């Protein structure tokens, strides 16, 4: 990014920087932040929302770094590109963790010798692909939001790098990877019922924290690939590039261009561009259904009536007897029948077509935590065959030789 001129204070609206903040000392960094930090009325969030009417190409990376340092000080490290190249062996493939819309993610290690006050730890380094789907705006949104938000169920941003055209982010390393990989990769070990419930509760707490601000933060891209897991399977929300501030005052919604992931996005948001916290609740309901069924939100390879997960599940979610047909067979029958039924009903409430009928996230957290008290387990090993397929695979998992043959349950018939 070649600079034509430096940013003025007026340009700070584009940067999303709150100049009312006093500069912070960079003498030390608290690398052990674990408790939540309350979200107050932060003008920088709102400025980020109204920004980006044009390109930031007129702003030098030096000025961007100066403004970010003024805002975050010791809360975030301002890394140099040469430092991040060094700890990733010039972004070697042997350090590669994965690749997404933002770019490639590499694993690395840092310690106090790398930067004073930085505790020894593994980190994940995201490197923006300037030819990719996301760009400088998403990078800056990530810095602004995660630079000010701290919660046990949000991934911790450690620092950033902005040099010329290069944009990078440095996070705490999440050793268990994404929920998506655990649910949908054939080679992964299936998540047991208790772990799935723990993940759902953690992710719900993360959303509840965002929605609980004086001006709510709308995540806008809640999905399994953005739910990362630490060594204890604690869920943490990541990737805030599409996050937006919610409506203020008498406004009921934020109107914005439709972005996110098809299959998770609320239908009213897709059709109108009207964004509210209830849009996130819909996405959360979809993820709950994925945890229950082991199926993706959208699968074009399935029969027509089964491609859209929400539509496929609705007729089965009303009773334990019917629900057995759609529970993830990789659970092997080891789940709470009562818990699964209540989770399914909660999920269906979250994906209600009427946003007003969807619960708020604190209520979702409360209901999910209540499911931990159920100790009953399913007595059947599985269903053979399920009413929706004649093959020897259920939800993509082989069922031959491993599933019981219970008395038949009538399939759902559409009137």
The residues assigned a catalytic role are 221
Buried b vs exposed e over 182-191: b needs ≥16 C-beta within 10 Å?
bbbeeeeebb
Encoded tokens for 4: 């034509």
Burial class (CB in 10 A: 0-12, 13-18, 19+), 157: buried
- What string of H, E and C letters represents the secondary structure of 191-239? CCHHHHHHHHHHHHHHHHHHHCCCCCEECCCCCHHHEEECCCCCEEECC
Strand partners, 153: none
Reported as type and span, the H/E element at residue 254 is strand 254-255
Q: What angle do CA 153, 144, 2 make, to 5 degrees?
A: 140
CA distances from 242 to 32, 123, 155 (A): 27, 22, 15
Q: Which two tokens stand for residue 93?
A: 């493939």
Residue 209 to residues 14, 213, 349, 356, Cα–Cα distance (Å): 26, 7, 20, 20
What residue has token string 């301002």? 78
Q: Are strands 397-398 and 227-229 parallel, antiparallel or unpaired?
A: unpaired
Contact 226, 237 (CB under 8 A): yes
**DSSP code for 298:** B
Q: Which residues contact 364 (CB under 8 A, 6 or more apart)?
A: 204, 207, 208, 281, 284, 346, 350
| 293 and 395 Cβ atoms separated by less than 8 Å | yes
Q: What angle do CA 260, 125, 211 make, to 5 degrees?
A: 40
Task: Provide the phi-psi class of 12: left if phi over 0, else alpha when psi is between -120 and 50, else beta.
Answer: alpha
Asked whether residue 126 is marked as a ligand-binding residue, the answer is: yes
Pairing between strand 121-128 and 103-110? antiparallel
Q: Are 5 and 58 in contact (CB under 8 A)?
A: yes
Half-sphere exposure of 357 (CA within 13 A, CB side): 11
Binding residues for ATP: 126
């Amino acid at each position: 990014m070649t600079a034509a001129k430096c940013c003025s204070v007026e340009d700070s609206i584009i940067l999303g920087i709150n100049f009312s903040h006093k500069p912070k000392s960079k003498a030390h960094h608290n690398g052990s932040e674990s408790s939540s930090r309350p979200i107050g009325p932060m003008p920088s969030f709102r400025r980020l929302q109204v920004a980006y009417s044009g390109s930031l190409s007129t702003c030098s990376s030096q000025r961007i770094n100066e403004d970010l340092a003024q805002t975050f000080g010791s809360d975030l490290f301002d890394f140099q590109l040469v430092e991040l190249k060094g700890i990733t062996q010039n972004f070697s493939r042997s350090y590669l963790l994965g690749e997404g819309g933002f770019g490639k993610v590499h694993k690395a290690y840092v310690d106090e010798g790398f930067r004073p006050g930085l505790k020894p730890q593994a980190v994940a380094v995201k490197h923006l692909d300037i030819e990719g789907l996301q760009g400088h705006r998403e990078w800056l949104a990530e810095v602004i939001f995660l630079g000010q938000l701290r919660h046990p169920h949000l991934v911790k941003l450690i620092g950033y790098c902005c040099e010329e055209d290069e944009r990078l982010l440095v996070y705490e390393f999440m050793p268990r990877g994404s929920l998506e990989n655990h649910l949908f990769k054939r080679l992964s070990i299936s998540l047991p019922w208790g772990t799935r419930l723990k993940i759902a509760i953690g992710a719900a707490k993360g959303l509840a924290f965002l929605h609980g601000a004086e001006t709510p933060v709308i995540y806008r891209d809640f999905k399994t690939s953005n739910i990362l897991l630490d060594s204890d399977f604690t869920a943490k929300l990541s990737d805030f590039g599409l996050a937006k501030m919610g409506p203020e005052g008498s406004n009921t919604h934020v109107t914005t261009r439709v972005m996110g992931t098809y299959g998770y996005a609320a239908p009213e948001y897709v059709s109108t561009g009207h964004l509210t916290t209830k849009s996130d609740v819909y996405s959360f309901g979809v993820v709950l259904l994925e945890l229950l069924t082991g199926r993706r939100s959208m699968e074009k390879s399935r029969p027509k009536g089964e491609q859209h997960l929400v539509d496929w599940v609705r007729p089965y979610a009303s009773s334990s007897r019917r629900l057995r047909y759609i529970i993830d067979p990789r659970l092997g029958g080891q789940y709470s029948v009562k818990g699964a039924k209540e989770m399914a009903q909660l999920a269906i409430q979250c994906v209600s077509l009427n946003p007003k009928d969807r619960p708020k996230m604190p209520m979702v957290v409360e209901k999910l935590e209540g499911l931990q008290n159920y100790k009953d387990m399913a007595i059947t090993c599985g269903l053979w065959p399920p009413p929706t397929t004649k093959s020897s695979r259920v939800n993509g998992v082989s069922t031959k030789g491993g599933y019981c043959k219970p008395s038949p349950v009538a399939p759902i018939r559409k009137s």
